C-alpha cells in the first residue's frame, strides 16, 4: 500500500499574527514558518502504518512556493520516503489545491491520501473533502483513530456530539485531527539522511491546473480589540463585579 500525505507550510502556530497596514493580508516576512500542525499528525500516521508493515511507501506532497521544500524536508526527516513540490505562487485556494492533488494522485496512484483536517492560516477546512469529491473516493474527516483493514479503513471521527466510527473503502482520503497521534521529532541523523532523499519539483501549470483565485480578498483587518480588563483581588470581589457591574449572574 502506498500513502500520499499532503503538507502545507504555514506561519508557526506560536507566532503572534500581525495584519499588514495596507489591509492586503498578514505579515509573513521574517516570520517563523512551520508545517501546519495537523499535517504533522498525517505524516506521523502514514509513517506508523509503514512501520507496521501495512504500507510500502510514504510520499509527501506540498503545493506552494519554493520554500515549501523545507516542509517536505521535515516530512522526509520523520520518515517519508520522497517528496513532490508543486510550485505555485500567491493565494492558492483549496479548490485549486485539490485539483493539483487530483493530478498528483492520478500519476502516483496511492491507496490512501492523508492530510491535516484544516490549515491554521486560512482555516478553510476544505481540501481533503474536495479531493475526495474530485476523485470519487470516500472521505474520513477529522480522524482521531485509524484502523487499517484488508480493503478498508475503520476511522473514528471527532464530531460535535462526541465520536463517530465509519468504514471507508480503500482508496480513501483521511483528514487528521490533532488527537490522532503524537508526532515524533526528527533526530539529527534522520535530518541529515533526509537531505539525500529526492524531492521532485513540478509546477501547477505543468499539471494543467488553473490556480487563479475565485474568491476576491477585499481586505484583511484586525479583529475588534477587547477593552482591557481588570484584576480582582478576591473571589468576593469577583462575584460582586459579576453581579453588580457585568450583571451576568
Partner 1 sequence: MSVLLIAEHNNKELKPFTLNAITAASQIKEDVHVLVLGSNSDSVAKSISEVSNVKKVIHVNNSLYENYLAENYTSAVIKLAESYSHIICSANTFGKNLMPRIAALLDVSQVSDIIKVISEDTFLRPIYAGNAFATVKSTDKIKCVTIRPTSFDPAPTSGGSAEIMNGDPGDSSELSKFIKKEEIKSDRPELGTARVVVSGGRGMQSGENFKLITAVADKLNAAIGASRAAVDAGYITNDHQVGQTGKVVVPDLYIAVGISGAIQHLAGMKESKVIVAINKDGEAPIFSVADYGLEADLFEALPKFLEELNKLNTIQK
Q: Looking at residues 51 to 90 of the shown chain, list those that interact with partner 1 (rule: CB under 8 A).
A: none
Asked whether position 31 contacts partner 1 by CB under 8 A, the answer is no
- Among residues 11 and 49, whose Cβ is nearest to partner 1? 11
Rounded-to-integer distance, Cα 108 and Cα 54, Å: 18
- Among residues 103 and 197, whose Cβ is nearest to partner 1? 103
Asked whether position 183 contacts partner 1 by CB under 8 A, the answer is no
> Of 2, 49, 34, 28, nearest to 176 (Cα)?
49
Among 56, 169, 187, 201, binds partner 1 (CB under 8 A): 169
The number of residues that bind partner 1 (CB under 8 A) is 83
Asked whether position 188 contacts partner 1 by CB under 8 A, the answer is no
Peptide linkage before 171 cis (omega within 30 of 0)? yes
Residues 180-202: b if buried by 16+ CB within 10 A, e if exposed: bbebeebeeeeeeebeebebeee
C-alpha cell at 53: 508493515
Restricted to residues 87-106, the positions that interact with partner 1 (CB under 8 A) are 93-96, 98
- Among residues 195 and 226, whose Cβ is nearest to partner 1? 226
Among 82, 103, 179, 197, binds partner 1 (CB under 8 A): 179
Asked whether position 120 contacts partner 1 by CB under 8 A, the answer is yes
In the DSSP assignment, the letter for residue 179 is G
What separation in angstroms does the CA of 65 have from each of 9, 70, 87, 107, 139? 9, 10, 5, 21, 27
Among 66, 89, 106, 167, binds partner 1 (CB under 8 A): 167
Piece of 11-19, 71-79, 105-113, 185-193 that binds partner 1 (CB under 8 A): 11-19
Asked whether position 161 contacts partner 1 by CB under 8 A, the answer is yes
Asked whether position 21 contacts partner 1 by CB under 8 A, the answer is no
> Of 149, 154, 145, 139, nearest to 181 (Cα)?
145
Asked whether position 158 contacts partner 1 by CB under 8 A, the answer is yes
Place of cell 485539490: 98
Amino acid at each position: 500500500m502506498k500513502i500520499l500525505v499532503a503538507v502545507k507550510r504555514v506561519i508557526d502556530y506560536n507566532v503572534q499574527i500581525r495584519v499588514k497596514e495596507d489591509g492586503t493580508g498578514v505579515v509573513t516576512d521574517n516570520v517563523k514558518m512551520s508545517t501546519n500542525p495537523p499535517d504533522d499528525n498525517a505524516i506521523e500516521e502514514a509513517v506508523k502504518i509503514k512501520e507496521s508493515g501495512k504500507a510500502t511507501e510514504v510520499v509527501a506532497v506540498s503545493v506552494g512556493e519554493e520554500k515549501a521544500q523545507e516542509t517536505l524536508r521535515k516530512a522526509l526527516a520523520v520518515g517519508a520516503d520522497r517528496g513532490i513540490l508543486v510550485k505555485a505562487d500567491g493565494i492558492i485556494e483549496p479548490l485549486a489545491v485539490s485539483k493539483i492533488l487530483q493530478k498528483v494522485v492520478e500519476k502516483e496512484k496511492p491507496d490512501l491520501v492523508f492530510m491535516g483536517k484544516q490549515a491554521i492560516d486560512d482555516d478553510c477546512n476544505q481540501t481533503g473533502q474536495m479531493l475526495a469529491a474530485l476523485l470519487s473516493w470516500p472521505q474520513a474527516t477529522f480522524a482521531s483513530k485509524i484502523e487499517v483493514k484488508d480493503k478498508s479503513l475503520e476511522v473514528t471521527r471527532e464530531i460535535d456530539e462526541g465520536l463517530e466510527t465509519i468504514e471507508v473503502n480503500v482508496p480513501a482520503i483521511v483528514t487528521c485531527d490533532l488527537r490522532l497521534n503524537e508526532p515524533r521529532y526528527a533526530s539529527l541523523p534522520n535530518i541529515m539522511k533526509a537531505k539525500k532523499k529526492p524531492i521532485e519539483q513540478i509546477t501547477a501549470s505543468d499539471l494543467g491546473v488553473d490556480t487563479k483565485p475565485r474568491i476576491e480578498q477585499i481586505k484583511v483587518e484586525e479583529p475588534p480589540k477587547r477593552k482591557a480588563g481588570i484584576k480582582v483581588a478576591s473571589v468576593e470581589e469577583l462575584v460582586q463585579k459579576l453581579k453588580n457591574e457585568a450583571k451576568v449572574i
